[in-house]
Amino acid sequence: MAQQHLFDLEPEPWQQDDQAETLVATVVLRDGPSQQLDYSVPDELRDQIAAGCRVKVPLGRGNRSVVGYCVRLENRMAGRPLKPIGEVIDRRSLLSTAMLRLTEWIADYYVCGWAQVLEAVIPAGVRGQAGTRLTTLLSVAADAERRMAELKLPEKQTKVMKVLARAKRPITPTQLAQAAGCGQGPITTLRRKGLIRSQTGRVQTNQAAAQPAVRESHLKLNADQQKAIDAILGTLNRGEHRTLLVHGVTGSGKTEVYIQAIQEVIHFGRQAIVLVPEISLTPQTVERFRSRFGQVAVLHSHLTDAERHWHWQQIAEGKVSVVVGARSAIFAPTPHLGLIVLDEEHESTFKQETAPRYHARDVALQRAQAERIPLVLGSATPSLESWHRAAQKEFTLISMPRRVLDRPLPAVGTIDLRTEIRRTTRGAISRKLHMAMQAALNEEGQVILLLNRRGFSTQIQCPACGFVLKCPECDIALTHHRTQEIALCHYCDYEVPAPSVCPDCDYAGIRYTGLGTQRLEAEVRARFPDVPCLRMDTDTMQGRGAHERALARFRSGEIKILLGTQMIAKGLDFPDVTLVGVINADTALHLPDFRAAERTFHLVTQVAGRTGRGAKGGRVLVQTYSPEHPAIVAAVRHDYAAFAAGELPLREMLRYPPFASMVRMVVRGPVEEVTQAFAQQLVERLQAMLAEKNVDARVLGPAPAPFARLRGRYRFQIHVHGPTSEPLREAVRELVTMKCPDEVQWIADVDPLDML
């Protein structure tokens, strides 16, 4: 959130009778003061304006015209003269009243401007009406009937008028000519006579409708699934809001439960929204929904503006029963929502990392409460936030502890890298893992290898002088990418040719160390030269559809070894995968983030869940330097409850979420001292405000952020902890008025997930 300066808040007095009731439009501005401003609605705009429309309004002494959103309309005494609205931009409201309220909540909760939230919620394609074109639209003129009797029209023209009268909405001249079976002649004449009114309007350019797929019938649910569905349907039928946390191990049949619950919702003519992490929006997931329901709208990040606009309209018109999408699909304008499902609810991609920094789970909860419908959260490894709320009985916990068809969970073993690697090999793959791979491949199984670091070498260091090659803008070690022979910054994409001598002391033996997926791929190919192997990470999965194509090759059995970053750890359901190897479980374990252990537990458990899904069974080998770490021990035993029981007391002791609320602020600027000094001012103001209001809160910092410099900007962080978030947010909101030095910016992140 770039902080706005406060300027000319009050609309100028305007010549007007301030005693009478007037129609007052409350407007939030896109660029400008973040307050809500009142304007009067001139008579000629009364029929055009609605809450949820964009408007142009005069601002400041110069009355420059600025764009804003009308968020409220009411007839009342203005109390003081108001400036009038200049222009109404949209012909129809872009959002329902309920959705407007939801956006207001987001602006309030996440401490950002309401207009900024509206801009993020309403897709650009909808605002710009992408995929539509302006054209002439014809309708019957107001007094046409009376005048037709006087004029005694020729037969063709009479027919045209009849056809036009039957049309439900204005149509184009071409459509009219076609329907009336004539040329443009009679139409032009009728327009000249004033019997046909013409106006300019928008029509949708053609969009291919989604193919309703073949319908598959339901599976017969097992006892755990039946219990889960009964609980969901119970709340549905009571017409109340309830959040149900479905804790089901990988492969326990959660998706089948969602599908059958959705079926019930559709039955009553209502819609369902299914939120999944972007990465799970694979054909596999989508196909499962398409094969059961006819009209499914799939909202993913690769849609064009026109496609997004088209989906938005289809959804708003109630033509779509099920919306499947990533985070922002929570804003789908379903007219009659019946159920929200959020799968893999622990995934951090549900949180938006740019303003508005909302978490789709919390927005979903808010929406479900307002619409009085159930919210279903599903995961094999719930976030500790949700788990804690279930323990407090705020959420209803539903357990599905077994895999379907009595398939066992895979056996997980650890390989202690401290002894194993040194003793047996110089590469990344220990002897035990190599042998397990060989055995799996011999038995026609497939192998998944997880390494959560891309590139070839993750560090380039001179052994003579100790120099480490870093990004000049970000202060982060550059990663060697061998395909292009470059050293690359994973933050800002800065790159230099990979050096062969130390840039600092010219020593010729500069060393490339640290393991990335490229190096792992090279090792796998060297160890198993005849086995087809594929690497999946953001470097290889660039183009549209690359992800889908790669998975299709793995599914078909053409590829035997799939290796990659966390993008291969989640959601995949391939029955022939009999071995999963985790190359280094510790990559995230020691990050300066209070969720490091939780993240590690999630990742190892999730990737372990990719095997043993078919009749052949499966096993998992986890290479780690910390086999005794509680997160690893719990993951090895598939024991979520034990992990939570060990971790939660630590969180409570240190006053971290879910036992406290937190706001993280990051102050950035090009000059270190100036940035730090301003961060210090923020801290002092915060402390003063919180003390004044007797809020039990702690303010930590300013301290250099773990990534202390990114893209040439110094970064300082401030952490504010307190028992509840409201007073913290209130205090932070008041900081907006502080004068910020040029080029220094700060953001506030409520309930932060990114701690770097």
Smallest gap from Cβ 255 to ligand ADP, in A, equals 3
> Tokens 């968020």 map to which residue?
71
> Tokens 């309004």 map to which residue?
57
The beta-carbon contacts of 35-39 under 8 Å, at least 24 apart in sequence, are: 35/9, 36/71, 36/72, 36/114, 37/9, 37/11, 37/68, 38/11, 38/78, 38/82, 39/11, 39/82, 39/83, 39/84, 39/85
Residues from 123 through 182 that contact Zn ion (CB under 5 A)? none
- CA dihedral over 312, 315, 317, 319, signed as positive or negative: positive
Total residues interacting with Zn ion, rule: CB under 5 A = 7
Judged by beta carbon distances under 5 to 8 A according to partner kind, the member of Zn ion, ligand ADP, none in contact with residue 725 is none
Judged by beta carbon distances under 5 to 8 A according to partner kind, the member of ligand ADP, Zn ion, none in contact with residue 541 is none
**345 and 247 Cβ atoms separated by less than 8 Å:** no
Smallest gap from Cβ 274 to ligand ADP, in A, equals 12
Q: Where are the alpha helices (DSSP H) in 77-121?
A: 97-109, 114-121
What's the alpha-carbon Rg for the chain, to the nearest Å?
A: 30
Can residue 489 be called a binding residue for Zn ion (CB under 5 A)? yes
CB nearer ligand ADP, residue 381 or residue 623 = 381
Smallest gap from Cβ 599 to ligand ADP, in A, equals 20
Residues from 699 through 728 that contact Zn ion (CB under 5 A)? none
CB nearer ligand ADP, residue 248 or residue 374 = 248
Judged by beta carbon distances under 5 to 8 A according to partner kind, the member of ligand ADP, Zn ion, none in contact with residue 489 is Zn ion
Q: Which two tokens stand for residue 18?
A: 């301030």
Distances, alpha carbon 472 to alpha carbons 34, 209, 480, 714, in Å: 36, 50, 16, 12
> Tokens 């017969």 map to which residue?
220
CB nearer Zn ion, residue 321 or residue 457 = 457
Can residue 494 be called a binding residue for Zn ion (CB under 5 A)? yes
Smallest gap from Cβ 665 to ligand ADP, in A, equals 38
Among 147, 420, 425, 491, binds Zn ion (CB under 5 A): 491
Smallest gap from Cβ 381 to ligand ADP, in A, equals 12
Judged by beta carbon distances under 5 to 8 A according to partner kind, the member of ligand ADP, Zn ion, none in contact with residue 471 is Zn ion
Smallest gap from Cβ 404 to ligand ADP, in A, equals 4
**330 and 274 Cβ atoms separated by less than 8 Å:** no
CB nearer ligand ADP, residue 31 or residue 287 = 287
**709 and 317 Cβ atoms separated by less than 8 Å:** no
Smallest gap from Cβ 218 to ligand ADP, in A, equals 9
Smallest gap from Cβ 648 to ligand ADP, in A, equals 24
Judged by beta carbon distances under 5 to 8 A according to partner kind, the member of Zn ion, ligand ADP, none in contact with residue 222 is ligand ADP
CB nearer ligand ADP, residue 229 or residue 690 = 229
CB nearer Zn ion, residue 463 or residue 472 = 472
Judged by beta carbon distances under 5 to 8 A according to partner kind, the member of ligand ADP, Zn ion, none in contact with residue 256 is ligand ADP
Judged by beta carbon distances under 5 to 8 A according to partner kind, the member of ligand ADP, Zn ion, none in contact with residue 736 is none
Residues from 533 through 552 that contact Zn ion (CB under 5 A)? none
- Distance between CA 325 and CA 548 in Å, rounded? 16
Tallying the residues shown for the chain, one arrives at 756
Judged by beta carbon distances under 5 to 8 A according to partner kind, the member of Zn ion, ligand ADP, none in contact with residue 225 is ligand ADP
CB nearer Zn ion, residue 488 or residue 524 = 488
- Distance between CA 259 and CA 278 in Å, rounded? 19
Q: Which stretch binds Zn ion (CB under 5 A): 213-221, 384-392, 491-499, 531-539?
A: 491-499
* Residue 448 CA to its chain's centroid (Å): 27
Residues from 274 through 313 that contact Zn ion (CB under 5 A)? none
Of residues 132, 114, 94, the one with CA closest to residue 305: 132
Judged by beta carbon distances under 5 to 8 A according to partner kind, the member of ligand ADP, Zn ion, none in contact with residue 252 is ligand ADP
Judged by beta carbon distances under 5 to 8 A according to partner kind, the member of ligand ADP, Zn ion, none in contact with residue 650 is none
Judged by beta carbon distances under 5 to 8 A according to partner kind, the member of Zn ion, ligand ADP, none in contact with residue 695 is none
Cβ atoms within 10 Å of 63's Cβ, excluding its own: 14
**53 and 89 Cβ atoms separated by less than 8 Å:** yes
383 burial class (0-12, 13-18, 19+ CB within 10 angstroms)? Answer: buried
Judged by beta carbon distances under 5 to 8 A according to partner kind, the member of Zn ion, ligand ADP, none in contact with residue 438 is none
Smallest gap from Cβ 285 to ligand ADP, in A, equals 9
Kindly list the residues in this chain that would bind ligand ADP in the complex (CB under 6 A).
219-222, 225, 248, 250-256, 404-405, 573
Cβ atoms within 10 Å of 185's Cβ, excluding its own: 12
CB nearer ligand ADP, residue 405 or residue 615 = 405
CB nearer Zn ion, residue 474 or residue 686 = 474
Smallest gap from Cβ 292 to ligand ADP, in A, equals 11
CB nearer ligand ADP, residue 251 or residue 727 = 251
Judged by beta carbon distances under 5 to 8 A according to partner kind, the member of ligand ADP, Zn ion, none in contact with residue 255 is ligand ADP
Judged by beta carbon distances under 5 to 8 A according to partner kind, the member of Zn ion, ligand ADP, none in contact with residue 508 is none
Smallest gap from Cβ 222 to ligand ADP, in A, equals 5
- Distance between CA 447 and CA 533 in Å, rounded? 9
CB nearer ligand ADP, residue 170 or residue 253 = 253
CB nearer Zn ion, residue 644 or residue 710 = 710
Distances, alpha carbon 85 to alpha carbons 48, 67, 664, in Å: 11, 10, 38
- Distance between CA 232 and CA 244 in Å, rounded? 7
CB nearer Zn ion, residue 713 or residue 721 = 713
Can residue 486 be called a binding residue for Zn ion (CB under 5 A)? no
Smallest gap from Cβ 471 to Zn ion, in A, equals 3
Residues from 446 through 485 that contact Zn ion (CB under 5 A)? 471, 473-474
Smallest gap from Cβ 579 to ligand ADP, in A, equals 19
Residues whose CB is less than 8 angstroms from the CB of residue 381 and which lie 6 or more positions away in sequence, other chains included: 346, 601, 602, 605, 606, 640
**376 and 340 Cβ atoms separated by less than 8 Å:** yes
Smallest gap from Cβ 566 to Zn ion, in A, equals 21
- Distance between CA 41 and CA 57 in Å, rounded? 10
Smallest gap from Cβ 645 to ligand ADP, in A, equals 23
> Tokens 């952490």 map to which residue?
719
Smallest gap from Cβ 666 to Zn ion, in A, equals 17
Give ∠ CA 120-126-130 in degrees, rounded to 5.
130
Of residues 33, 28, 12, 30, the one with CA closest to residue 737: 33
CB nearer ligand ADP, residue 253 or residue 658 = 253
- Distance between CA 101 and CA 106 in Å, rounded? 9
Smallest gap from Cβ 491 to Zn ion, in A, equals 4
Q: Which two tokens stand for residue 148?
A: 């037709």
Of residues 396, 406, 327, 391, the one with CA closest to residue 359: 327
CB nearer Zn ion, residue 461 or residue 626 = 461
CB nearer ligand ADP, residue 250 or residue 366 = 250
Adjacent-strand bridge partners of 415? 623
CB nearer Zn ion, residue 29 or residue 474 = 474
* SS3 state at 579: strand
Judged by beta carbon distances under 5 to 8 A according to partner kind, the member of ligand ADP, Zn ion, none in contact with residue 676 is none
Residues whose CB is less than 8 angstroms from the CB of residue 423 and which lie 6 or more positions away in sequence, other chains included: none
Element of type H or E holding 45: none
Give ∠ CA 579-584-585 in degrees, rounded to 5.
85
Prior bond of 658 cis (ω within 30°): yes
Binding-site ranges for Zn ion (CB under 5 A): 471, 473-474, 489, 491-492, 494
